[in-house]
Chains A and B, each alone.
Chain A
């Protein structure tokens, strides 16, 4: 998964009149990013702050590392309204989230997922959660527990009864 940080504010041709406002975001580990307000407001949380006039100084994005925040900003840039004219290209770029078999991909998606939840970015959250759903499709209950590190709190009898009741769902 690409992690290229393109928190670029000046190079893209500003078509709007006057200067585009920049927001300063600071990650948990102290990395600072300058992002166009029009892009960062894809986050409902940040939009709320801008609307309430609370985004004038540096915005701390705790719980999100610089590495993850860079990925989030890449997502914003790709999904800025009017930024990508070619929908096919966007789909191709998004498809990198489809396979999360290897562990580092999985960690990236988990980090992005938590960031999307924290910053409230619905499109990114949908993309990450459906990627995880795709990865657990067809897994057995034990495999799912292992995948998410969940311990069953059903006792043996309860689980047997549940399985028996829904036997059709356990046949392949």
Chain B
């Protein structure tokens, strides 16, 4: 008789002991090992997880663990979050000033906000209300983005410019640092050596992408120049012809931190991901995602644009030409749940209430409050409109 694999000792208590040196075994009476609790707790909403942190030290450490936060985020179903603009008191170098913060970027349970008057940036977990104020930069930031980098740390990238319009450079910041670091690499700007028709600058926390759609006689192709943030090296990739039936109907979006191209044909999203620009590596074959929700919502099909794939979820937007409304929707490719909301269109004005779809996250960071020392903005999670 053969034994069923030696690794099955993973269910033993020895492992538990090893992983959690300071937790006495008596504190976990049941036979469940840590990995089972890991699985069970990762299904819970953030509010209950915060409660669970007070159950015992093992659970506390487990819920603070980065791999747990990521697992939970994958399972976290999107909710519709409503925000209301509110004037709050901000302490700027010893002077209290009234300030209103506006949302500039939403990612992974977190919200990046910018103060109207002070130009102060802050990161907020909209579920736990934890806030981190970013240190000031003396540069003229015009794009600021934030995400988890390849090692799972939260990072910020600022693209700054001079008084004119051209891109001057890039700065980066790790969450918790008190100083921005300049990135020293060449700026691709105003390259007139070839005839591009459309040009885009997209930055993630790992790479800066310059994307050119080039028309050369009857030929159309897409060139991607990727600037690696760690090395400053530039890599060029050309999207081969024939990948998509029509290069004018190809959407560009971020796919797990990389750049991706996709088109929607017959209720399917076809995707090519530039997984490793350094080795010119694209996803082996086209990734095909069946968009089953389109069968039930055929009216969405016309103007649907993929905008992001992150933590197992696909984000789309769709413009209603008649109603001045933008639909935002999220498709969970694992649970196949579908969430949608209607956002007020560009003409609806900036003030007042706004709503977003976002995934609650249990990610935590040390507060460095300079504002009011209480919960700052009223956030309510509302009912979620879910099909399936």
Contact = CB atoms under 8 A, between A and B. Distances in A.
B55 A133 contact: no
Interface in B80-126: none
A149 B26 CA distance: 10
B2 A137 contact: no
A45 B4 CA distance: 8
A166 B50 contact: yes
Nearest to A144: B55
Contact of A125 (B27, B39, B57): B39
Contacts of A148: 28-30, 32
Contacts, number: 111
Contact of A151 (B27, B48, B52): B27
B56 A145 contact: yes
B51 A117 contact: no
Interface residues of B, number: 41
Nearest to A56: B2
The dominant DSSP class at the A interface is: helix
Interface residues of A, number: 43
B11 A114 contact: yes
Contact of B5 (A45, A126, A138, A162): A45
Contact of B41 (A48, A61, A118, A133): A133
Nearest to B28: A150
Contacts of A154: 54, 56-57
B3 to A, nearest CB: 7
A141 B55 contact: yes
A152 B58 CA distance: 10
Nearest to B49: A169
A117 B5 contact: no
B364 to A, nearest CB: 10
A73 to B, nearest CB: 16
Contacts of B55: 141, 144-145, 150, 152
A95 interface: no
Nearest to A48: B5
A140 B36 CA distance: 20
Interface in A84-136: 113-114, 117-118, 125-126, 129-130, 132-134, 136
B36 A60 contact: no
The dominant DSSP class at the B interface is: loop
A59 B47 CA distance: 44
Given A57-B1, A60-B1, A166-B50, A152 B27 contact: yes
B129 interface: yes
A54 interface: yes
Nearest to A140: B51
A21 interface: no
A148 B5 CA distance: 28
B280 interface: no
Contacts of A166: 50-51, 53-54, 128
A118 B11 contact: yes
B23 interface: yes
B31 interface: yes
B4 A152 contact: no
Q: In the complex, which of the residues B28, B35, B55 has the most CB atoms of chain A within 10 Å of its own CB atom?
A: B55
A153 B129 contact: no
A49 interface: yes
Contacts of A169: 47-48, 50-51
A60 B57 CA distance: 36
A1 interface: no
A60 B3 contact: yes
B24 to A, nearest CB: 6
Q: In the complex, which of the residues A48, A49, A114, A129 has the most CB atoms of chain B within 10 Å of its own CB atom?
A: A129
B44 interface: yes
Contacts of B346: none
B11 A150 contact: no
Interface string B309-330: 0000000000000000000000
10 contacts: A48-B5, A57-B1, A60-B2, A126-B39, A129-B42, A151-B27, A151-B56, A153-B56, A166-B53, A168-B375
Given A118-B11, A162-B53, 19 more contacts: A58-B1, A114-B11, A118-B8, A134-B43, A136-B48, A137-B48, A140-B51, A144-B51, A145-B55, A145-B56, A148-B29, A150-B29, A152-B56, A154-B57, A162-B60, A166-B54, A166-B128, A168-B50, A168-B375
